[in-house]
């Protein structure tokens, strides 16, 4: 809960500092420092839990705080790697950073809500700044299209979410996810319809098939620096909210019997659509957009699993996927040509950058000794635990094998194809290289020793 207050207040502080401070470097410094402080403030709550707020609609347990720490840590890495690229968006640097802070406020609510009302607020606080950031390049038509498409689709899916919440409230008479008592013998059809609507709304927000159609266009059209954040921290927060809701409110055996198959089919469709479409992409940015759909498919597997293993898996996945994707996007932003051809010869010209990029791509594929492997391992074993899901796990493994093709194609282009990569001038500084290598090391460290994340769970 410290995180929610701190990020909201610091966002306002940033808005004001944008009024008085003209220097872009100073504003970037404030934003980065604030993110470090937010990380500390959030960590403080882990050791000194405070009282809940009146109304009891938010309860930050250790899992919530751990996820907040992952989200804040990834955003810190993101600010350090790509903070300078925010200047591409336009003049109003402080406002863009402030919007990211507001998103993180929503992320904090999404990880600790106990009331459906707070879930709705969290999803909206996360979404609205994203619509703005996606359209921040006002003279870029693709950015406008991305923003408008995202806004219209997002507003539509919010309608489903609200309808689901209303139906659940109408049947149970409470917003509190812990007090719905759905485990009784008879099941109200209102509840089932409500759950169905909630699944539709939330699947939309996390970009799972068959509600994924906005994802490639929005991720491709939005400025790369924004996409990098939308596809990682925000998506992971959506999954945390999804898993939190379903594992607390709808985990009684007679209820899971009704929705597990729906979620399993959504996972299967997401995996198939994401992976097989990513294979045919020419642009690396669009490939990463489809790869984010396929990774979402793996995260949905945790929802099929529902249990402690699922929580381990989703937290590891959030860390592994966010770090790797933020790193891969930080490299992408520095390229002039977003196609595979543009990466040719990067291994010779910028060996360190290419090496780090390779580690990120290996992690996204799920090669052992990287964080992605451990994340996939936990998520898949959680799905296996719930019997009868062997077919889904096998399908997921096949899809992981397919994903190797498009990730390795980029590695192949970097190392084994001759060419002169066009890198934006003066963008690869020694500090950037150092940070990129540090991020890659972090990815490997989590892969070798997942306890780095998981030991913090109670």
Partner 1 sequence: MNWQLIIFWILAVIALLCAIGVVTSRNPINSVLFLIMTFFAIAGHYLLLNAQFLAVVHIIVYAGAIMVLFLFVIMLMNMNAETEPQKSQLVRFAGVISGGILLIVVLAALKKADPALMSGKSSDIGLISNLGQVLFHEFIVPFELSSVLFLSAMVGAVLIGKKN
Kindly list the residues in this chain that would bind partner 1 in the complex (CB under 8 A): 4, 8, 11-12, 15, 53-55, 57-58, 90-92, 95, 98-99, 102, 105-106, 109, 115, 117-118, 121, 124-125, 128-129, 131-132, 135-136, 138-139, 167, 170-171, 173, 188-190, 192-193, 196
Cα(126)–Cα(8) distance, rounded to whole angstroms?
12
Smallest gap, in angstroms, from Cβ of residue 147 to partner 1?
8
Burial of 336 (0-12, 13-18, 19+ CB in 10 A): exposed
Smallest gap, in angstroms, from Cβ of residue 413 to partner 1?
36
Smallest gap, in angstroms, from Cβ of residue 12 to partner 1?
7
Smallest gap, in angstroms, from Cβ of residue 183 to partner 1?
18
Smallest gap, in angstroms, from Cβ of residue 221 to partner 1?
16
Smallest gap, in angstroms, from Cβ of residue 283 to partner 1?
27
DSSP β-bridge partners for residue 335: 423
**CA nearest neighbour of 17 among 99, 93, 105:** 93
Smallest gap, in angstroms, from Cβ of residue 140 to partner 1?
12
Specify the residue, 171 or 350, whose C-beta has the smaller distance to partner 1.
171
Q: For residue 26, give the H/E element and its range.
A: helix 24-47
Smallest gap, in angstroms, from Cβ of residue 8 to partner 1?
5
Specify the residue, 39 or 101, whose C-beta has the smaller distance to partner 1.
101
Cα(245)–Cα(311) distance, rounded to whole angstroms?
12
Cα-trace Rg, the chain? 21
Specify the residue, 15 or 32, whose C-beta has the smaller distance to partner 1.
15
Specify the residue, 144 or 283, whose C-beta has the smaller distance to partner 1.
144
Specify the residue, 15 or 435, whose C-beta has the smaller distance to partner 1.
15
Smallest gap, in angstroms, from Cβ of residue 94 to partner 1?
10
Contact 170, 164 (CB under 8 A): no
Look up tokens 């939005």; give the residue: 222
Specify the residue, 168 or 364, whose C-beta has the smaller distance to partner 1.
168
Cα(26)–Cα(326) distance, rounded to whole angstroms?
23
Specify the residue, 67 or 96, whose C-beta has the smaller distance to partner 1.
96
Specify the residue, 139 or 185, whose C-beta has the smaller distance to partner 1.
139
Look up tokens 């998520």; give the residue: 379
Smallest gap, in angstroms, from Cβ of residue 61 to partner 1?
17
Burial of 453 (0-12, 13-18, 19+ CB in 10 A): buried
Cα(131)–Cα(22) distance, rounded to whole angstroms?
26
SS3 437: helix
Look up tokens 């996810």; give the residue: 177
Specify the residue, 136 or 363, whose C-beta has the smaller distance to partner 1.
136
Return the percent helix, strand and coil in the chain, to nearest 5.
80, 0, 20
Q: Which residues contact 418 (CB under 8 A, 6 or more apart)?
A: 344, 345
Burial of 409 (0-12, 13-18, 19+ CB in 10 A): middle
Specify the residue, 132 or 384, whose C-beta has the smaller distance to partner 1.
132
Cα(337)–Cα(227) distance, rounded to whole angstroms?
17
Please give the full DSSP string across 44-57, using - where no structure is assigned: HHHHS--PPPTTS-
**N residues, the chain:** 458
Specify the residue, 144 or 251, whose C-beta has the smaller distance to partner 1.
144
**Distant-in-sequence contacts of 154-158, Cβ < 8 A, 24+ apart:** 154/127, 154/204, 154/205, 154/214, 156/204, 157/200, 157/201, 157/204, 157/205, 157/211, 158/120, 158/123, 158/124, 158/127, 158/201
Q: Within 13 A of 248's CA, how many CA atoms are on the CB side?
A: 19
Specify the residue, 134 or 278, whose C-beta has the smaller distance to partner 1.
134
Q: Is the peptide bond before 65 cis (omega within 30 degrees of 0)?
A: no
Smallest gap, in angstroms, from Cβ of residue 193 to partner 1?
4
Neighbours of 50 (CB within 10 A): 10
Smallest gap, in angstroms, from Cβ of residue 44 to partner 1?
20
């Amino acid at each position: 809960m410290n995180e929610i207050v701190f990020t909201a207040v610091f966002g306002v502080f940033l808005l004001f500092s944008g009024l008085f401070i003209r220097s872009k470097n100073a504003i970037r410094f404030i934003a980065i420092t604030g993110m470090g402080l937010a990380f500390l403030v959030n960590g403080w709550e882990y050791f000194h839990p405070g009282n809940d707020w009146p109304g009891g609609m938010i309860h930050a347990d250790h899992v919530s705080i751990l996820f907040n720490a992952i989200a804040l840590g990834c955003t810190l890495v993101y600010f350090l790697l790509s903070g300078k690229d925010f200047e591409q968006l336009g003049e109003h640097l402080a406002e863009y950073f402030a919007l990211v802070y507001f998103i993180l406020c929503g992320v904090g609510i999404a990880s600790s809500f106990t009331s459906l009302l707070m879930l709705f607020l969290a999803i909206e606080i996360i979404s609205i700044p994203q619509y703005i950031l996606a359209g921040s390049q006002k003279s870029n038509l693709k950015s406008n299209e991305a923003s408008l498409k995202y806004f219209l689709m997002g507003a539509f899916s919010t309608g489903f979410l609200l309808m689901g919440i209303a139906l659940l409230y109408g049947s149970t008479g409470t917003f509190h996810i812990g007090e719905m008592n759905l485990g009784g013998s008879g099941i109200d059809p209102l509840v089932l319809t409500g759950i169905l609507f909630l699944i539709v709304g939330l699947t939309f927000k996390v970009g799972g098939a068959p509600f994924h159609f906005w994802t490639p266009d929005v991720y491709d059209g939005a400025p790369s620096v924004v996409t990098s954040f939308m596809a990682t921290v925000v998506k992971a927060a959506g999954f945390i909210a999804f898993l939190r809701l379903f594992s607390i409110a709808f985990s009684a055996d007679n209820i899971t019997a009704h929705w597990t198959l729906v979620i399993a089919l959504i996972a299967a469709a997401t995996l198939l659509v994401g992976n097989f479409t990513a294979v045919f992409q020419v642009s690396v940015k669009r490939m990463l957009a489809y790869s984010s759909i396929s990774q979402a498919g793996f995260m949905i597997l945790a929802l099929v699993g529902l249990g402690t293993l699922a929580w381990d898996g989703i937290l590891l996945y959030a860390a592994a996927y966010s770090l790797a994707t933020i790193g891969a996007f930080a490299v992408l932003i520095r390229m002039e040509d977003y196609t595979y051809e543009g990466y040719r010869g990067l291994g010779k010209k910028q060996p360190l950058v290419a090496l780090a990029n390779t580690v990120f791509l290996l992690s996204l594929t799920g090669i052992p000794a990287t964080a992605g492997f451990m994340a996939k391992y936990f998520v898949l074993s959680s799905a296996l635990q719930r019997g009868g899901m062997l077919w889904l796990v096998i399908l997921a493994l096949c899809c992981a094998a397919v994903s190797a093709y498009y990730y390795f194609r980029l590695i192949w282009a970097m190392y084994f194809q001759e060419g002169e990569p066009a890198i934006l001038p003066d963008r690869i500084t020694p500090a950037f290289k150092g940070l990129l290598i540090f991020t890659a090391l972090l990815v490997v460290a989590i892969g070798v020793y997942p306890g780095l994340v998981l030991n913090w769970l109670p």
